[in-house]
Amino acid sequence: MKSVPIRVCFTLFSLILFAGCAISRSDFAYLNPGERYPEKTSHQPIYLSTLGLDDQRFEEIGYIHVSTKSRSGAYEELNHKLRDRARNVGADAVIHVTYGTENAFSISPFIVSFPYNVTTAQGLAVKRK
C-alpha cells in the first residue's frame, strides 16, 4: 500500500526534474491556420536563404523556429531541421533565415536554475505560386 505513493512521488519528481531539459525544439506557426499543403518528400530540395526570393510570386505559409544545444555542427543541424519542418508543411523554401543564440534555463524541483545556451534559427516558410 505504501509503495504506490512512493512510486507516484518518484514519477512526479522525475518529471519535474527533467521537464526543462529539452535540448532542441522545432516550432511552427501558421500564418493562415485554415490553409494546409501536402508534405514534400525527403528527395525534394528545400531552398534556404537569409534573403528573400528574387521571384516575388510565393505564398507565405508560416514561421519556423528551431534550436539545438549542439556546439559542433550546430548550423548544419539547424539547416537540416529547417528543411525537415518546411517539408512537413509543404513549403518550397525558407527565406529570411536568421541564426542566433538564446539563453535557456533548466529548472530542477529545488527551484535552482541551470542556464545553458542554445543555438537557434528561424525563418519564413514559403511556397511558390
Non-local (6+) Cβ contacts of 102 within 8 A are 67, 117, 118, 120
Name which of 107, 42, 102 is nearest 68 in CA terms: 102
* Tens place of pLDDT per residue across the chain (129 aa): 455 566 655 555 554 444 444 467 788 999 988 889 999 999 999 999 999 887 778 899 999 999 988 777 889 999 999 999 999 999 999 999 999 988 776 555 555 566 678 899 999 999 988
Q: Where are the domains of the chain?
A: 3-128
User: Which cell numbers hold the place of 13?
Assistant: 519528481
Using left for φ > 0, alpha for ψ between -120 and 50, and beta otherwise, residue 96 falls in: left
Sequence-ordered alpha helix ranges (H) in 41-96: 74-89
- What is the CATH T-level fold of the domain 3-128, as seen in this structure? Translation Initiation Factor IF3 (3.30.110)
Distance separating alpha carbons of residues 128 and 55, to the nearest angstrom: 9
